[in-house]
Amino acid sequence: MAEILDKVKTEEEKSTFFGPKERRLLIDPLMDNNPVTVQILGVCSSLAITSLVYPSIVMAISVTLVTAFSNYFTSLVREYIPKQVRMIVQLVIIATLVTIVELALKALNFPIWKQLSVYIGLIITNCIVMGRLEAYAMANKPWRSFLDGIGNGLGYGAILVIVAIIREILGKGTLFAGSPVEIKIIGPNTTYLIDTTTSNLFGWYANNNLMVLPAAALFIIGILIWIHRTINPKLVDIS
Amino acid sequence: MESSNKYIITFIIIMTVIAAVALAGMREITMSASTKNEEIFNKRSILLTVNEYLGEGLSVADLSDDQVLKMFKEQVEQVVINQKGEVVPNILAEKIDLAVEKKKAESERLLPLFVFKNDKEKFYILSVRGSGLWDEIWGNIAVKSDLNTIAGVTFDHKGETPGLGAEIKDNPSFPGQFVGKQMFKDGEVAILVRKGGSQDKMYEVDGISGATITGDGVSEMLQRGISYYLPYFETIQN
């Protein structure tokens, strides 16, 4: 974290619109500095809403929008924010954006808003958002902060969707249930879904109820962290 | 650098005003769309109880939003009744929120009743609300014109456990069991969710294993909720 910040400072002068530096801001949080598997932030909502893929995608988009724009606005006013009330100012910015996202979602897609219920509001308490404001936006220019927000939102979203794909296939035998493109992947055909594309793959498979419960997400995230660290030994703390 | 109190207060005030204006503006913009969405969502769940009887080849899932509103306008009559079984005039059933009614004294509660008509038959759709394991549960029940046979039900919940209590909504085979059951036995509500499997097939449905308390909640909600409608049913039967 610290070395990234140092590098950002030395390269601050030669600011480009979308150079290698900017590209790294987007790609780093997806792999080497993933907010969920490396920084272990935002785990709460990763457990709660990843039982189906479709709501997870909506959640990922919402969080990405909130991190990106809260980073951007905080960075815009970073030099004017009084030090004593720094956190309060950040919270107001985040809360405003979350409420805007929630209102928009309610108007655009009511059923999914109903399904995500409190978790949209709880983006306010998602550690990723405030973490990025403190660690990045307070010390960097708006455009780069915006990219950093997009990158971290996508890094979080990627884990969310991976976990949701595993949980939905094993727990319900479907993909994208609730969306217009829902399909049945494994297990016997039931009257479960309104519109099922017929598939008899693994007709013997019985849905694993554990996968539907939040506990399963914890195992899956744990396994993902394990795999991530095996692939990338740099992440293992050897001290 | 420490800022002066004056600076902090000015900053906070300006920030609050900007945030308030942004939020109020956003709410104004989205208000009409989200009210309409909510209305359609509720109407869909009411129509879902009579999904089988909508007409040749029609299903709620395939209807567009406009079709839902049109069908509701043309085929559904909305009645509000009070606890004595009298019709309350000049109010639409869709305006009744059972969550609000639940807070009133039992004798003052109003009940929404939707009467759905197709070419041949007439269905009475009742709304009920109760408590599951974690939070509130609610549902709609469509009754055939004999005022006894159930034509279909839908349930929803606020926070039941996924895979267990949430199956009352997620697994169509649970509400599906209610179709064809009788609600009343000797003038009392007899419909029931039975743990370990139904015994009297006329009036009972199988509970969901692992969701005993939600199942009991559904039973309690049905028994109490349906009994509120009894006085009205007696009046229209006579």
The average pLDDT across B134-153 equals 91
At position B132, the amino acid (one-letter code) is G
The average pLDDT across B196-220 equals 88
Up-side HSE of residue A43: CA atoms within 13 Å toward CB? 15
Tokens of A202: 């693994």
B12/A contact by beta carbon, under 8 A: yes
- Which pLDDT score, from 0 to 100, does residue A64 have? 94
Model confidence, pTM = 0.81
What's the ipTM?
Answer: 0.76
φ and ψ at residue A139, rounded to 5 degrees: -125, 5
Cα separation, B5 vs B13, in Å, equals 12
Assess whether pLDDT exceeds 60 at residue A212: yes
- Which pLDDT score, from 0 to 100, does residue A204 have? 73
| CA-based nearest residue to B151, from B54, B228, B50 | B50
Assess whether pLDDT exceeds 90 at residue B165: no
Reported in sequence order, the residue ranges of chain B that DSSP labels E, i.e. its strands, are 76-81, 111-117, 122-131, 136-143, 150-157, 184-185, 188-189, 192-194, 204-206
Instruction: Name which of B13, B26, B167 to mutate to probe chain A: the one with the most chain A Cβ atoms within 10 A of its Cβ.
Output: B26
Assess whether pLDDT exceeds 80 at residue B91: yes
A191/B contact by beta carbon, under 8 A: yes
Q: Pick from A80, A88, A110: which is nearest to B34 by CB?
A: A110
Could you tell me which residues come within 8 angstroms of residue B198 by beta carbon, excluding any fewer than 6 positions away?
B204, B205, B206
Yes or no, beta carbons of A88 and B12 under 8 Å apart: yes
SS3 content of chain A, % helix, strand, coil (to 5): 65, 0, 30
CB of A100 closer than 8 Å to CB of A73: no
Helices A142-172 and A214-231: angle between axes, nearest 10 degrees: 120
CB of B174 closer than 8 Å to CB of B167: yes
Instruction: Please identify among residues 25-44 of chain A the ones whose CB lies closer than 8 Å to any CB of chain B.
Output: none
B236/A contact by beta carbon, under 8 A: no
The average pLDDT across B115-144 equals 90
Task: Show residues of chain B in contact with A191, CB under 8 Å.
Answer: 172-173, 176
At position A122, the amino acid (one-letter code) is L
Yes or no, beta carbons of A99 and B176 under 8 Å apart: no
Please write down the HEC assignment for all residues of A96-137: HHHHHHHHHHHHHCHHHHHHHCHHHHHHHHCHHHHHHHHHCH
Yes or no, beta carbons of B41 and A212 under 8 Å apart: no
State what percent of residues in chain B have pLDDT above 90. Answer: 29
A206/B contact by beta carbon, under 8 A: no
Q: Which helix (DSSP H) or strand (DSSP E) does residue A174 occupy?
A: strand A174-175
Instruction: Please identify among residues 35-54 of chain B the ones whose CB lies closer than 8 Å to any CB of chain A.
Output: 37-38, 40-41
State what percent of residues in chain A have pLDDT above 70. Answer: 87
State what percent of residues in chain A have pLDDT above 90. Answer: 36
Query: How do residues A38-71 score in pLDDT, each as one tens digit?
Result: 888 888 888 888 888 998 999 999 999 999 999 9
Cα separation, A28 vs B28, in Å, equals 39
User: What is the average pLDDT score of chain A?
Assistant: 83
φ and ψ at residue B131, rounded to 5 degrees: -120, 135
DSSP A33: T
DSSP bridge pairs for B126: B113, B141
B162/A contact by beta carbon, under 8 A: yes
